[in-house]
A and B are shown apart, each in its own frame.
Chain A
């Protein structure tokens, strides 16, 4: 069996770690195990190591998109580095990343700090969406007076 990291040397170190009932396995050669700090149990988290290995495989299974249109980063690059290319990669590879993030974190949705400027644009978007919804309703109900008002309000949003 070859080492999961370098793919060339014979694997002699076999690790299994169970986190939240999910079993993770990794096989390493001596040199890679040293480099990854596996020999010292206190300084080593299997999750970090798996990022470049199992995680990439998991991503391949889940995702169909091969390349980020924004930055040109590919799944193969992720497999090599365990890092993504740009912020848009999260969107590009979202299918594959979903399972990975689920196994890695406490939740799948951010509930912490939101930057003030994002807060503004999120609020704006929600307002716009609710206006558009109301407009559709008004049109469906043939309430053209309200529809005209809503349309004017939406126009103002575009100007701002």
Chain B
């Protein structure tokens, strides 16, 4: 299957129909595995890396789930194509920097993606919409079990699966959920939540993982530790914490509606106005304003059919997605104009937010 087909169809996980999909955008689980008796990719010489690649790739392609897969060597992907895959969370930023000696295989539905010779020989990930960590784990666990029948993984009875980085040793598993938390950000409770989550050994990161900003009020919550705990227990713990975060976000939304309706509506109204009338917009501004639109839909200020176009725009306004339809590379200001144009076209027919007549914000301390 050609990459073109993958890029024109949106992945299953972007459809936004999983449980708790209003707040939980997606659930993801990745496993790190290495072959026994080979150096890790970062240390292996080029010939060894190629040998590893040619050992693993055919086995991955044989998986039943990969019967109609897109499979490609890293050097055969253009920088733009790689960036599109990064924006879809199908490859990591680190993998996008790889050339000869690496590859990626992904299924047609874009729920399963296997990177070969990233930081580890194998990085396999499953991703689905909404909060469904358990079923996502089951899916990737099955893939792992099938592969280990044919590949001899580096494993120590004491330390578990051996990985290039000691932070991944043991289960080699990183489970994460992407959550949309505009009300917690607006009510300035987000740092408290992040600190509480950090305290129990889970990490909170921005939209694109390690060291990235939390754009569009989107956060990734994931397990930090991989040794000394069973996979199922890690998943269950993370699931519980995400449920609590959902509850906090919902409470924060209700509180804003009651106590500060004008502040809330101001954000949503401005988002609506600017998105509909702007002629130049960078991706950061777009994500942040789209976040308020999404919140407005969740709260019923816009009719439900508005949801899908807004969800799609989160992806379509990313720099590489924006350029995949254009013949040549665009300069930053050209991208900003194109982005504004796409948004205007999509949101042009949106009705005004139906807000009724909200009362004034309650001033603190007043009866």
A110 near B166 with CB under 8 A, answer no
A113 near B171 with CB under 8 A, answer yes
With known contacts A84-B164, A97-B166, A40–B152 Cβ distance under 8 A: no
Task: Bin the interface of chain B by size.
Answer: 35 or more
Task: Tell yes or no: B284 within 8 A of A by CB.
Answer: no
Task: Tell yes or no: A67 within 8 A of B by CB.
Answer: no
A54 CA to B306 CA in the complex, in Å?
50
B148 near A43 with CB under 8 A, answer no
Choose among A43, A77, A91 the residue that contacts B205 (Cβ–Cβ < 8 A).
A43
Q: Which of A23-31, A44-52, A139-147, A151-159 is found at the contact surface with chain B?
A: A44-52
Please indicate the chain B residues that have their CB under 8 angstroms from the CB of A116 in the complex.
Answer: 145, 148-149
Please indicate the chain B residues that have their CB under 8 angstroms from the CB of A111 in the complex.
Answer: 228-230
Q: Select from chain A the residue with minimum beta-carbon distance to B231.
A: A112
Q: How many residues of A contact B (CB 8 A)?
A: 43
A109 near B158 with CB under 8 A, answer yes
A48 CA to B194 CA in the complex, in Å?
17
Task: Tell yes or no: B330 within 8 A of A by CB.
Answer: no
The 0/1 profile, CB within 8 Å of A marked 1, for residues 184-219 of chain B is 000000110010000001011110001111100001
B227 near A43 with CB under 8 A, answer no
Chain B CB within 10 A, most for which of A87, A90, A97, A105: A87
A41 CA to B225 CA in the complex, in Å?
19
Task: Tell yes or no: A63 within 8 A of B by CB.
Answer: no
Q: Select from chain A the residue with minimum beta-carbon distance to B229.
A: A106
Task: Tell yes or no: B87 within 8 A of A by CB.
Answer: no
Choose among B156, B171, B211 the residue that contacts A112 (Cβ–Cβ < 8 A).
B171
B228 near A105 with CB under 8 A, answer yes
Choose among A44, A48, A77, A108 the residue that contacts B227 (Cβ–Cβ < 8 A).
A108
In B224-265, the 8 Å CB interface with A consists of: 224-231
Q: How far does the Cβ of A63 sit from chain B's closest Cβ, in whole Å?
A: 13
Pick 23 A–B contacts, CB within 8 A, sort by A.
A42-B219, A43-B211, A43-B213, A51-B165, A51-B166, A55-B166, A81-B42, A83-B43, A83-B164, A84-B164, A104-B227, A105-B169, A105-B225, A105-B227, A108-B228, A109-B158, A110-B156, A112-B160, A113-B141, A115-B148, A116-B148, A117-B148, A122-B157
Q: Footprint of B on A, CB under 8 Å?
A: 36-37, 40-45, 47-48, 51, 55, 71, 73, 77, 81-87, 90-91, 97, 100-101, 104-118, 122
